[in-house]
Amino acid sequence: MPGVGDWSLSQAQVAIEAVAIVAFALSGLIEAARKRLDAVGVAVVAGLTAFGGGTLRDVLLDRRPFFWVQHAHWLWALLALCAAAMLFMRARHIEPTERAMQWPDALGLGLFAAGGTQVALAMQMPAIVAVLMGVVTAVFGGVLRDIVCNEIPSAFGDHRPYALCAFAGGWVVVGARMLGWPEEAVLLAGAGTAGLLRVAVLLSGYTLPAWTAGLPPRR
- Are residues 161 and 208 in contact, defined by beta-carbon separation less than 8 angstroms? yes
Q: What pLDDT sits at residue 95?
A: 60
Residue 214 pLDDT grade (very low, low, confident, very high; cuts 50, 70, 90): low
pTM, two decimals, is: 0.79
Residue 67 pLDDT grade (very low, low, confident, very high; cuts 50, 70, 90): confident
Distance from C-alpha of 105 to C-alpha of 139, rounded to nearest angstrom: 10
To the nearest 10°, the Cα dihedral for 56, 58, 61, 63?
-160
Q: What pLDDT sits at residue 26?
A: 83
pLDDT over 90, % of the chain: 27
Q: How many CB atoms lie within 10 A of CB 125?
A: 18
Q: Which residue has the higher pLDDT, 85 or 130?
A: 130
Sign of CA dihedral 159, 160, 163, 164: positive
Query: Among 1-10, 32-41, 107-116, where is mean pLDDT lowest?
Result: 1-10
- 94 three-state secondary structure: coil
Neighbour-count burial of 175, counting CB atoms closer than 10 A to its CB (0-12 exposed, 13-18 middle, 19+ buried): middle
DSSP string, 28-81: HHHHHHHTT--HHHHHHHHHHHHHHHHHHHHHHTT-SS-HHHHTTHHHHHHHHH
Q: What pLDDT sits at residue 192?
A: 92
Average pLDDT for the chain:
82
Q: Which residue has the higher pLDDT, 217 or 18?
A: 18
Q: What pLDDT sits at residue 135?
A: 95
Report the pLDDT averaged over residues 183-187. 87
- pLDDT digit string (tens) for 190-212? 999 999 999 998 888 888 776 66
- pLDDT digit string (tens) for 71-127? 788 888 888 888 888 887 766 655 666 666 677 878 888 888 998 999 899 889 999
Half-sphere exposure of 194 (CA within 13 A, CB side): 37
